[in-house]
Each structure stands twice: as structure tokens, then as C-alpha cells.
Amino acid sequence: MTKTQFRMLAGIGLILFLLVFLMLVPTPKLITYERSNVVSKGVYWRGFGESGMLLDANASFVKIDPSTQYLHVCYEFEKGDSCQQYRVIETQGLLAVIRHLL
């Protein structure tokens, strides 16, 4: 095997590894959600466990219900948990997340 063939195989292997990695790792999404006619945008990352993460909220539990398209956000307080439900209006992909964060 020549040096050029080795580099080509290494490049193809790297591209395949990155594609598999991107398919397995959940990507963040920019979601637009509303409650009581107040509309907000936030970056939501599903994560690997039961609960996701809303990057602009200090919430203890965040999850989007795919069947109802509702965002459930819970906060821990000393007197107990407080949970709110928001309606998801729009979901955008990774490029929208990058634009939103910049």
C-alpha cells in the first residue's frame, strides 16, 4: 500500500467515523415555544438520559413530548418542584442554533 492510498483510506475512515458519531450523538435544536401568548426561543439538547437540557434555563427537568409537542420544564425549590408546560411552535436544526448563539 502506497502512502497516497493510506492517506485516502485514513480520510475515508475519518469521514465515516464522523458521520456515525453525528448520527449517534443528539444534536441541539433551537425551539420556539409559547405560553399565555408569550413566545420565547431557546436551545434544547435532548441528551442521553430521560431529561434534556434547556441551555438558557436553570431547570432540573426538561423534556419535549413528541406526541403532543409540549415542552415540560420543572424547577427545584426548597418547598418542592414547580413545573410548567409550554407549547412548541417551531423546531430548527443545528445551523439555527449556531446562528442563535452567535
What are the domain boundaries of the chain? 26-101
Q: How far apart are CA 88 and CA 72, in angstroms?
A: 10
Task: Give the chain's largest Cα–Cα span.
Answer: 69
Q: What pLDDT does 33 receive?
A: 92
- How do residues 37-88 score in pLDDT, each as one tens digit? 899 899 998 878 778 888 888 888 888 888 999 999 888 888 878 888 999 9
- Beta strand pairing call for 53-54 and 61-65: unpaired
Confidence of residue 89 (pLDDT cuts 50, 70, 90): very high
**Across-strand partners of 80?**
77
DSSP string across 28-87: PEEEEEEETTEEEEEEEE--SSS--EETT---SEEEEETTTTEEEEEEEETTEEEEEEEE
